Amino acid sequence: MRLKLILSVFALFTSLTFSQNIKSPSEFLGYELGTAFSRHHQVVDYFQHVADELPDQVSLQQYGQTYERRPLYVAFVSSEENMKRIEEIRMNNLRSAGILEGNSDTNDIAIVWLSYNVHGNEASSIEASMLTIYKLLTEKQEWLKNTVVIIDPCINPDGRDRYANWYNETASQPYDINAESSEHNEPWPGGRPNHYLFDLNRDWAWASQIESASRLTVYNKWLPHIHVDFHEQGMNNPYYFAPAAEPYHEIITDWQRDFQDQIGKNHAKYFDKNGWLFFTKERFDLFYPSYGDTYPTYMGAIGMTYEQAGHSRGGLAVLNDEGIILTLKDRILHHTTTGLSTVEISSANAEKLNSEFSKFFNTSGLKYKSYVMQGETDKIEALRSLLDKHEIKYGKTNAGRVTGYNYQAYTQGSMNVSENNIVVSTDQPKGKMVKVLFEPNGKLSDSLTYDITAWSLPYAYGLETIASTSLINGSTYNAENNVNQANTNAAAYMSDWKSMEDARFLAELINSGFKVRFTDKPLKTAGKSFDRGSLIIYRGDNKKKDDFDSKLVEIGNRYNRELNAVSTGYSASGPDFGSPDVKLVNPHKIAMLSGEGTSPYSYGALWHFFEQQLHYP
């Protein structure tokens, strides 16, 4: 016993000695934290410094990069003992959720994930991430004995640097507290969104942006017990933290509700001691699944939003409507306090967090067991792509008939299914997320909500759907790919026009120098009927393309389009290829208006559509 005590004291002394080698954020940056907005690369450099100085306790992992090629990192922080078996802890947690097969060992390690700066101009949180990791390692080693803390210092580096660069260029010296001054009035488009001006805090479930999709790959490898999304709100609002406001989605467990309350009371202890105002249970609900609090909640975590006063008008210091000067230093301190308080109470409740996390993944009580869908192949492929990002399982149905709630009829009904239909079951570890994403109507406990209330995937993807109370097993879903062959005797190749994928195919043809026609009326040729809008790639229009057949087939196979070789421009019915109703697609130059007076989100959506989805021009 005496030897164990001596060894424990020695280990603690050693860890404290090494942690003293870590520079504080202010020492490392060369300026006092809170007197300037740090650029993203400076924050990354600081986290690398910490990882270099304490490699036995900190691991820095790059999980992606932004559209502007800024790196995306998470830092894993824990005790030396835990870091030696960090992979074992991760896998054991996934076994506890049923994601991996096998029984989980008794686990009393809490996993806490802290996410900062999803909105680039809510700028104090990335600064707080540096102070938080510093204090964890220099002052709070005891908590790390049974806690793994995962820190994402900046979810949105592009938006962050857009704001930081603007402010650092604009601000007075040392600063102007007048809220009407230029440094408190950020120009269009603002630093809130990412490169393509998307709101990343509405993109967790849809993963339309590279930052979101990259983050999901590492998030789903861990599935933390606690997730905090750090934000800022208007400069006149006191700090907000859990518990959340109603409505709560019905899938949220009593434990998830209760622990939010426990966390809030722990935060309140520190805020009351310092005389800091705060509020809870108002404004920020837990319903729409694509936030940084709800998505983790539906994946078994205690998901929370913390909101500090400031936002883009905060600057380094601003005079609010109550005559109080709010400083960046204040904002950093508040976020650091709630971050540390979160780790503290998680450490104190590590065993309970683990046991309740495991219980969350019991899906036996869900009403609908299976969602069966049919529709255009491209729409099903788009849905499959989304499910793959979330690592949600699905299968291919057998031919037959299913009964249940019919999404198109809005009542009970039935549907004939073929072997090409897709079925998604709630009888899987992520079954509760399946329910949330696929349910026809979410139940609202309060009609006053913060944001979106409808998102059902069958409607969003335009698929005929039956929600069945029976478990319908599906076989492995293997996509069928078209393998086109060149036909040098063909007068033309025709391709259907049915989905967005056809538009991408057309854009690629135009970008590759092909001239393409389309039929304005239905026609029949080569034994097949083609609807209005079908594409015609005519050999005579492309005489200068020596690689006409090979290049066309290569593009068609890449986009999984069926190319129908046609021997003549003489149609069996409908317009011939030289008809006025068969028209040449004229590539257009497209102008989009931007700047003050336009919506950054609308502009960004169009910009992203052309560049990342359509790939045109």
Does 83 share its domain with 146?
yes
CA 242, distance to chain mean position in Å, is 22
- Domain of residue 548: give its range: 492-586
The reported pLDDT for the residue numbered 17 is 53
Distance CA 131, CA 126 (A): 9
The reported pLDDT for the residue numbered 617 is 80
Phi and psi at residue 148, to the nearest 5°: -105, 120
Domain end marker among 331, 360, 389: 360
Does 343 share its domain with 384?
no
Give the mean model confidence (pLDDT) for residues 85-98. 97
Does 267 share its domain with 404?
no
Domain end marker among 310, 334, 360: 360
The reported pLDDT for the residue numbered 4 is 47
Does 257 share its domain with 311?
yes
Q: Residue 393 contacts by C-beta under 8 Å, 6 or more apart in sequence?
A: 387, 424, 425, 428, 430
Residues linked to residue 396 through DSSP beta bridges, in sequence order: 422, 475
Q: Report the CATH number at residue 85.
A: 3.40.630.10
Residue 13 clears pLDDT 60, i.e. is over it: no
**Has residue 473 been placed in a domain?**
no
**Has residue 353 been placed in a domain?**
yes
Residue 3 clears pLDDT 80, i.e. is over it: no
Does 129 share its domain with 260?
yes
Pick from 39, 337, 335, 382: which is nearest to 191 by CA? 39
**Has residue 180 been placed in a domain?**
yes
**pLDDT tens figures, 453-511:** 889 999 999 999 999 999 998 888 887 788 899 999 999 999 999 999 999 999 999 99
**Has residue 98 been placed in a domain?**
yes
Give kind and range of the element (H or E) at residue 317: strand 317-319
Structure tokens at 525: 């040729």
**Has residue 205 been placed in a domain?**
yes
**pLDDT tens figures, 328-380:** 999 999 999 999 999 999 999 999 999 999 999 999 999 999 999 999 999 99
Phi and psi at residue 248, to the nearest 5°: -95, 140
Does 9 share its domain with 75?
yes
Give the mean model confidence (pLDDT) for residues 394-406. 93
Residue 446 clears pLDDT 80, i.e. is over it: no
Does 582 share its domain with 528?
yes
Does 9 share its domain with 64?
yes
Given pLDDT bands bounded at 50, 70 and 90, which one contains residue 525? very high
Does 319 share its domain with 407?
no
Tell me the average pLDDT of the chain. 95
**Has residue 288 been placed in a domain?**
yes
Q: Residue 87 contacts by C-beta under 8 Å, 6 or more apart in sequence?
A: none
Return the percentage of the chain with pLDDT > 90, whole number.
89
**pLDDT tens figures, 23-69:** 999 999 999 999 999 999 999 999 999 999 999 999 999 999 999 99
Given pLDDT bands bounded at 50, 70 and 90, which one contains residue 119? very high
**Has residue 591 been placed in a domain?**
no
Does 257 share its domain with 337?
yes
**pLDDT tens figures, 187-208:** 999 999 999 999 999 999 999 9
Residue 7 clears pLDDT 50, i.e. is over it: no
Give the ranges where 481-584 is alpha helix by DSSP (H): 500-511, 548-558
Residues linked to residue 425 through DSSP beta bridges, in sequence order: 370
Phi and psi at residue 317, to the nearest 5°: -165, 140
Does 460 share its domain with 496?
no
Does 157 share its domain with 237?
yes
**Has residue 608 been placed in a domain?**
no
- Domains contained in the chain, number: 3
560 φ/ψ sector (left φ>0, alpha ψ -120 to 50, else beta): left
Domain end marker among 329, 360, 391: 360
